[in-house]
Amino acid sequence: MSSVPTPHNGAKAGEIAKTVLMPGDPLRAKFIAETYLTDVVCFNTVRNMLGFTGKYKGKPVSVMGGGMGIPSIGIYSYELFHFYDVDNIIRIGTAGGIADNVHVRDVVIGMGACTNSNYASQYSLPGTFAPIASFGLLSRAVKAAEELKINTVVGNILSSDTFYDDNENSLKAWIKMGVLAVEMEAAALYMNAARAKKNALCLLTISDCPFTGESLSAQERQTSFTQMMEIALSLA
């Protein structure tokens, strides 16, 4: 493939901004576009993975769903970086907090993304690759959160291929290594960005803590997600 639209994205060249916010849920992408952006145009409806471009405080920004799991975000972020000339992708998602210092409503900024996925094998590297965020985006996100008075925790996260894991003790092993939270996409996003020489960051709202039983109600989740969105939009 060398042209657009792609099999997964109906956008034409020039319809997607240089910075894309990428929640997993396409309906959350729609919410962000309708709530925060002006002059909004829908550029993608293929497979109902909705994508929109508009303006935030006068600056072009796009938002598009990325789906669930590494294969899904791997496809969408690859096409955005390579076929649509996107420079920055900021994942905004949810996660389960597993570290003692992480609680519901916290926003975790993924400095690095451990994974149990085999995604990196495609690169035929002579070792283990460490997927990390782009420091420029990370440092700006920390500063923005401080200015917005939003509590954040910065550190390592786990991008898991399994939501229902047959090994009930698997998360406890990651806690030993200081991993803060578990989600399902960031590692592939970081690898795609590294290979394309582009920028990526993962922001996560802690919606539950499986080892303590903490969880948010639907209304509380909506408020916390809004805080995460505001951090991400400030980076556009």
- Show the tokens assigned to 111: 């400095």
Closest CA to 51 of 36, 37, 66: 66
In sequence order, the β-bridge partners of residue 158 are 114, 182
Instruction: Look up 208 and say whether it is catalytic.
Output: yes
How far is residue 197 from each of residues 97, 116, 220, measured CA to CA in Å? 30, 23, 37
Selected catalytic residue, list 85, 87, 165, 208 = 208
| Type of residue numbered 124 | S
Closest CA to 15 of 61, 47, 67: 61
Distance CA 180, CA 155 (A): 7
Distance CA 6, CA 210 (A): 39
Distance CA 33, CA 23 (A): 12
Active site positions, annotated: 208
